[in-house]
Amino acid sequence: MKSLVIVLAVLMNAVAFAQPIDPFPLWPDGITPGAKGTSTNDVPDLTPYLPEKEAANGAAMVICPGGGYGGLARHEGNDYAEFLRARGIACFVLRYRLGSHGYRHPIMLGDAARAVRLVRSRAKEFGIDSGRVGIMGSSAGGHLASSLLTHFDAGKADATDPVERESSRPTLGVLCYPVITMGEFTHQGSKNNLLGANPPAELVDFLSGEKQVTKETPPAFLWHTWEDTAVPVENVLQYAAAMRRAGVKFDLHVYQQGRHGIGLQSAPPAFEHPHPWAADLLVWLKVQGFVK
């Protein structure tokens, strides 16, 4: 309990006083692949949340907010970034393109891959270690993060764009009540926004993370709640089982209480009773060398 109080105090201080840097686009102006227009809905970007220099430990996290591939939940982006920034991790909140604006796979996965590459390409500028760049996501954002954890590449060594020479493989993943499967236990709204109506069976399998884990999949912290009625807990259970079969390390936490989308809180008012997953995550990140 004492550790949770300390975590809470750090978080509340960060939320109250930290300010993000202005967002920057994933691609230079006018060349966003697959863009349907030039509005903010068509140009994905990253918002950095950088720790104070004396607190920075060189680790970085790309954060994918949830929202059913139809919106982006601020508390699953900004709040997580402030929480981790206060622990020395440089965070980058991804505003990826959405099904509600007419986009479908592979646009979202391309945005996430580009985000990881871009952070790595600017590692010196942001004072981070390019070998410690994780990805974090909640709900549909968790699906996007898990998709990159299972569908990454080493980059193109001969690319004219230096960003594209970087690997898109995250060092680790943090998946918060994630949508994993596009099968029986999926969240139908997320599936519809990502794949549209009646997607082919092979595409459904390709984007069902529990079927795509290999020994090359990065380690992950997984958490869910038994009470979640929007995204069934089977999503993380199946993914963890696949990781176990592949010999990939993971930390799995299934809590009895907690509604879907709770973020860092278990009940209003915000942060009065922080959900224990936050403290558990810090323990795991320490094991991974992402916090001191």
> Residue 71: helix, strand or coil by DSSP?
coil
Superfamily name with CATH number, domain 2-287: Alpha/Beta hydrolase fold, catalytic domain (3.40.50.1820)
Instruction: Give me the residue spans of the domains in the chain.
Output: 2-287
Using DSSP bridges, classify how beta strands 60-64 and 45-49 pair: parallel, antiparallel or unpaired. Answer: unpaired
Q: Given this model, what pLDDT does residue 29 score?
A: 82
Read off the tokens for 174: 């943090």
Which of 24-38, 224-238, 271-285 shows the lowest mean pLDDT across its residues?
271-285
At 19, the pLDDT band (50, 70, 90 cuts) reads low
At 5, the pLDDT band (50, 70, 90 cuts) reads very low
Instruction: Looking at 58-164, list the stretches that DSSP marks H as alpha helix, in order from N- to C-terminal side.
Output: 78-85, 107-121, 123-126, 140-150
Read off the tokens for 59: 């680790």
Asked if the model's pLDDT at residue 202 lies above 50, the reply is: yes
At 273, the pLDDT band (50, 70, 90 cuts) reads low
Cα–Cα distance measured from residue 36 to residue 41, given in angstroms and rounded to the nearest whole number = 9
Asked if the model's pLDDT at residue 12 lies above 80, the reply is: no
Burial tier of 199 (Cβ tally within 10 Å: 0-12, 13-18, 19+): middle
Q: Model confidence over 54-78: pLDDT tens digits?
A: 999 999 999 999 999 999 999 999 9
Q: Average pLDDT for residues 260-285, to the nearest whole number? A: 77
Q: Model confidence over 77-100: pLDDT tens digits?
A: 999 999 999 999 999 999 999 999
Instruction: Looking at 73-222, list the stretches that DSSP marks H as alpha helix, in order from N- to C-terminal side.
Output: 78-85, 107-121, 123-126, 140-150, 188-195, 201-206
Which of 33-47, 118-132, 271-285 shows the lowest mean pLDDT across its residues?
271-285
